[in-house]
Amino acid sequence: MRPDAGITALEGREEHRGGSGLALRLDDVHVRFGDTQALRGLSVEVGPGEVVAVTGPSGSGKSTLLLCLAGLLVPDTGRVTVGYTVVSSLPDDARTRMRRSEIGVLFQFGELVPELTAVENVLLPLLFSGIRRPVAHDRAMAWLRRLRLDDRADEQVSGLSGGEAQRVALARALVIEPTVLLADEPTGALDTPTGQLVMREMVDTVRASGTTAVIVTHESRVAAYADREIHLRDGAVLGEPAVGRSGLPGSAARS
Ligand SMILES: Nc1ncnc2c1ncn2[C@@H]1O[C@H](COP(=O)(O)OP(=O)(O)OP(=O)(O)O)[C@@H](O)[C@H]1O
């Protein structure tokens, strides 16, 4: 596919750290659900390797934005680009393939399979991608070790604490080694200290691998871990307050 001129320009911008992640872009995206206009001409750019927080009041379109980036929702009009691929123009099966290989998704409640063990949950996306079970098991264990959960690998996830379960969900999102992580209120179901631990772990891990991350959150504290904040109101960008890397709580938390 021919490189998109806008994305090429985006990669050249010096504030982007140029990790192995992919640039993301929404151009003039409109999404309507019945009478509700969820996104109204939303345009957003995220550089490769950037960690961006999406904030805004309830109903401002945060989850809808994430669904568009994940290729789970095709906008009524406008364009969604992941790397050089215009995801919004892909047929369903190609969008599914892209999601399985490039995009890790983390939801508020983890969406783990409760009757499976931690390691079984983490290896599932690899099985879906056709990887043989012994290889998938080794990779899943490596991720659980990285998140210091290897001693919980054979526990049914219904027996794990909220923080442990969300770290298992993080391992499952990252086991495919995605170039993009999309997280929707990843700490919303956790108490504050546990939520901060999980957020720190998540941001440290994606930064170490250069993964591009878009994190939807209600909490300004969570947004402070990001390189940049995109604030939505009524389905469009309100402004982009500077947060994160220069001395605010994100930096303190990483020291
Ligand atoms: N499947 C749907 N059917 C109908 N309306 C929807 C649907 N999904 C979202 N909406 C509406 O679109 C608007 C944007 O919803 P969205 O979930 O993207 O907002 P949000 O900022 O993520 O909100 P919250 O913080 O409460 O999760 C809201 O008015 C919501 O009610």
What are the Cα distances from residue 75, in Å, to 26, 33, 60, 71? 10, 10, 16, 9
Give me the mean pLDDT over the 231-248 stretch: 65
- In degrees and rounded to multiples of 5, residue 13 shows phi and psi of -70, 130
**Helices and strands in the chain: count of H runs, count of E runs:** 9, 10
Tell me the average pLDDT of the chain: 84
Please give the distance, rounded to the nearest whole angstrom, from the Cα atom of residue 54 to the centre of ligand 1.
14
Give me the mean pLDDT over the 182-199 stretch: 87
Whether the per-residue pLDDT at 132 is higher than 80: the answer is yes
Whether the per-residue pLDDT at 16 is higher than 50: the answer is no
Please give the distance, rounded to the nearest whole angstrom, from the Cα atom of residue 196 to the centre of ligand 1.
25
Identify the structural domains of the chain with CATH numbers, from first to last.
49-66+92-254 (3.40.50.300)
Whether the per-residue pLDDT at 54 is higher than 60: the answer is yes
Q: Which residue has the higher pLDDT, 222 or 186?
A: 186
- pLDDT attached to residue 14: 35
Q: Which residue's CA is the nearest one to ligand 1's atom 2?
A: 33
Confidence of residue 2 (pLDDT cuts 50, 70, 90): very low
Pocket of ligand 1 from Cβ distances under 6 Å? 33-34, 36, 38, 56, 58-64
- pLDDT attached to residue 103: 92
Q: Pocket of ligand 1, candidates 60, 74, 76: which has the most ligand atoms within 8 Å of its Cβ, to mutate?
A: 60
pTM of the model: 0.84
Q: Which residue's CA is the nearest one to ligand 1's atom 24?
A: 58
Please give the distance, rounded to the nearest whole angstrom, from the Cα atom of residue 146 to the centre of ligand 1.
35
Give me the mean pLDDT over the 16-32 stretch: 82
Give me the mean pLDDT over the 8-27 stretch: 60
Give 139-186 pLDDT, tens digit per residue. 999 999 988 899 999 999 999 998 899 999 999 999 999 999 999 988
Provide CB contacts within 8 A for 67, sequence distance 6+.
73
Whether the per-residue pLDDT at 247 is higher than 90: the answer is no
Length of the chain: 255
Q: Which residue's CA is the nearest one to ligand 1's atom 5?
A: 33
Give me the mean pLDDT over the 14-31 stretch: 76
- pLDDT attached to residue 239: 60
**C-beta separation of 238 from 231 below 8 A:** yes
Q: Which residue's CA is the nearest one to ligand 1's atom 7?
A: 33
Please give the distance, rounded to the nearest whole angstrom, from the Cα atom of residue 214 to the centre of ligand 1.
17
Q: Which residue has the higher pLDDT, 146 or 8?
A: 146
Please give the distance, rounded to the nearest whole angstrom, from the Cα atom of residue 15 to the centre of ligand 1.
32
**C-beta separation of 233 from 57 below 8 A:** yes
DSSP 224-246: TTSSEEEEEETTEEEE----STT
**Nearest atom of ligand 1 to the alpha carbon of 56:** 21
Nearest-5° angle of CA 245, CA 251, CA 255? 145
Q: Which residue's CA is the nearest one to ligand 1's atom 4?
A: 33
- pLDDT attached to residue 191: 87
- pLDDT attached to residue 189: 83
Q: Measuring CA to CA, which residue among 39, 172, 45, 42 is closest to residue 105?
A: 172
Q: Which residue has the higher pLDDT, 162 or 222?
A: 162
Give me the mean pLDDT over the 101-121 stretch: 88
- pLDDT attached to residue 244: 43
Strands (E), 100-157: 103-106
Please give the distance, rounded to the nearest whole angstrom, from the Cα atom of residue 46 to the centre of ligand 1.
22
- pLDDT attached to residue 80: 96
- pLDDT attached to residue 21: 82
**Nearest atom of ligand 1 to the alpha carbon of 61:** 18
Please give the distance, rounded to the nearest whole angstrom, from the Cα atom of residue 116 to the centre of ligand 1.
31
- pLDDT attached to residue 82: 93
Helix (H, G, I), strand (E, B) or coil at 159: helix
**C-beta separation of 212 from 24 below 8 A:** yes
Please give the distance, rounded to the nearest whole angstrom, from the Cα atom of residue 17 to the centre of ligand 1.
32
